[in-house]
Amino acid sequence: MLFSALNGRFDLVTTTIGEKTVLLCTQVAFIRNTQQSDNKLSDGRSAIYLWLSDGAWVFDVEQISADNAGYSFSTLLHAKDVFFFALYSQKGEHGGLDSLVFVHLKDQLQRIKSVLT
C-alpha cells in the first residue's frame, strides 16, 4: 500500500492538553490500493489523518474523515481539554455541491490524553 500527501494539504495547531504543549496536525493523504495482477495500481482513496507531536516524537492518532471524499481543506478546533472538533470540506457526489463536515473528536481526544500520560 502506498501512502503519500495529496497536494501537501495539512493543518497545524499547537495546544495544551493536560500539562503538555503539543502540535496537532491533520493531513489529507491519498492511499493507493495494492497492485493488481496486471501490475497496475488500482484506484485509491483520500482521507484525513490526525497526527500528534510533542517535539520529540510523532504519533498517528487515526483517520478522522470518511473515505474518498475529495477534501479541499481541514482545520482543528480545540478548547480547554474538553472540546475537540474537526471541520473539513467534502466534495459532493456526482459533481454535486460541496459540503462542510463538523466532527466531534471526543474519542481521539481521550486517545491523545492516554498517549501523553
Q: pLDDT in tens for each of the 117 residues of the chain?
A: 334 444 457 788 889 888 899 999 988 877 666 555 555 555 667 788 899 998 889 999 998 887 666 666 788 888 877 789 988 888 777 767 778 889 999 999 999 999 998
CA dihedral (97, 27, 1, 112) in degrees, to 10, reads: -120
pTM of the model: 0.75
The dihedral over CA atoms of 114, 115, 116, 117, expressed in degrees to the nearest 10, equals 50
